[in-house]
């Protein structure tokens, strides 16, 4: 098999040279373990953080070791004492960035191709989907009629946030994304009431104010920086910001200039709350049931940008950081 290693710590935007694709011998699975051939790998923004050697909620990637991440694969062989898995089963697990994985059966979850396409377990019905759902339900405590603004709106989390907000009772839904084509997709295909291209010359604050003449009640932040500042300006009283991610800062080597208007938090009685999807697992059964129903009925649409081949996984990851994806970025092996 082959596995991507991190071979140096990146500074700013990672150079392709900090990664290396290495040959790894295939082992037979020992007791309690599975040998899995990966079919889909997830590339995610949080992986950029794991490339830095700093303490965080997930440990940094070790140098000269395979990187890990979400993956779906097919069980090729099972070790002794494994129950509940057989060759041919499909599983969701955490040893991505490689063609083959050997892992404890206890760390794999069986998934069914009959219920949903395998790729969906990494996106719309997987980690990014639950992030969108939990952020709206648990953190924003979305209320009927709320005006919701989401940044990174054409990405995996953001595109689901906007549609779920509507399905869960929001009033106006507004999104921002990095191209005119993405903006069109949001309003024409996904039913956003308004959307804007944050790369246009007009500042984000002005574009948001125009899109939300009556203010916003919920801001789902995937981006940070200038976007968060714009949302604080646009908030109505008792607004709630779900701080899910701050991708505009992940490659930054200097601290951000914005937001400069935090003093508004007092007068507007804002709640600004960070979230990690791992804390919201108790919502998973409800999420899967509700969202798979909306996917089946066509009320919730999802897109995937699929890059083929293990040798292109780094390009997929770097492309995702630059906005090459619409919806979830995936690697298909």
Binding part of the chain for ligand NDP, among 96-104, 155-163, 209-217, 296-304 by CB under 6 A, reads 155-163
Q: Are 268 and 239 in contact (CB under 8 A)?
A: yes
Cα–Cα separations (whole angstroms), residue 279 to 58, 139, 265, 292: 13, 11, 25, 21
Selected binder of ligand NDP within 73, 126, 129, 152 (CB under 6 A): 152
For the CA atoms of 186, 189, 190, 191, the dihedral, rounded to the nearest 10 degrees, stands at 90
Tokens of 70: 């979400």
**What SS3 class is residue 154?**
coil
Binding part of the chain for ligand NDP, among 24-32, 188-196, 228-236, 322-330 by CB under 6 A, reads 322-330
According to DSSP, residue 14 is labeled: P
Selected binder of ligand NDP within 156, 165, 208, 314 (CB under 6 A): 156
222 contributes a contact to ligand NDP by CB under 6 A = yes
Query: 108 or 329, CB closer to ligand NDP?
Result: 329
116 contributes a contact to ligand NDP by CB under 6 A = no
139 contributes a contact to ligand NDP by CB under 6 A = no
Instruction: Compute the distance between CA of residue 222 and CA of residue 318 in angstroms, rounded to an integer.
Output: 17
Per-residue HEC secondary structure of 186-216 comes to HHHHCCCCEEEECCCCCCHHHHHHHHCCCCE
Instruction: Compute the distance between CA of residue 325 and CA of residue 182 in angstroms, rounded to an integer.
Output: 10
* Site map (CB under 6 A) of ligand NDP, residues 157-196, x = contact: xx------------------xxx--x--------------
247 contributes a contact to ligand NDP by CB under 6 A = yes
Q: Which stretches of the chain bind ligand NDP, using CB under 6 A?
A: 44-46, 128, 131, 152, 154-158, 177-179, 182, 222-223, 244-245, 247-248, 275-277, 320-321, 323, 325, 329
């Amino acid at each position: 098999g082959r596995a991507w290693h991190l071979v140096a710590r990146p500074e700013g935007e990672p150079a392709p040279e900090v990664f290396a694709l290495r040959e790894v011998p295939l082992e037979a699975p020992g007791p309690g373990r599975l040998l899995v051939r990966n079919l889909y790998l997830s590339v995610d923004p949080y992986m950029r953080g794991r490339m830095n050697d700093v303490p965080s909620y997930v440990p940094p990637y070790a140098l000269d070791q395979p990187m890990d991440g979400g993956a779906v694969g097919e069980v090729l062989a099972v070790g002794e004492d494994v129950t509940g898995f057989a060759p041919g089963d499909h599983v969701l697990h955490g040893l991505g960035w490689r063609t083959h994985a050997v892992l404890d059966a206890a760390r794999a979850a069986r998934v069914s191709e009959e219920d949903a396409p395998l790729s969906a377990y990494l996106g719309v019905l997987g980690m990014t989907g639950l992030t969108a759902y939990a952020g709206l339900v648990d953190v924003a405590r979305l209320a009927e009629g709320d005006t919701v603004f989401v940044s990174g709106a054409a990405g995996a989390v953001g595109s689901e946030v906007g549609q779920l907000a509507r399905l869960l009772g929001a009033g106006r839904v507004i999104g921002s994304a990095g191209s005119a084509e993405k903006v069109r997709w949001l309003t024409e295909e996904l039913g956003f009431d308004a959307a804007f291209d944050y790369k246009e010359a007009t500042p984000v604050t002005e574009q948001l104010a125009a899109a939300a003449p009556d203010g916003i009640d919920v801001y789902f932040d995937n981006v940070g920086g200038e976007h968060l500042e714009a949302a604080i300006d646009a908030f109505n009283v008792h607004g709630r910001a779900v701080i899910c991610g701050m991708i505009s800062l992940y490659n930054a080597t200097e601290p951000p200039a914005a937001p400069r208007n935090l003093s508004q938090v007092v007068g507007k009685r804002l709640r600004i709350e960070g979230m990690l999807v791992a804390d919201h697992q108790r919502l998973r059964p409800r999420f899967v049931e509700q969202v798979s129903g909306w996917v089946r009925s066509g009320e919730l649409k999802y897109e995937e940008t699929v890059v083929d081949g293990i040798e292109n996984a780094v390009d997929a990851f770097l492309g995702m950081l630059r906005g090459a994806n619409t919806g979830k970025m995936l690697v298909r092996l």
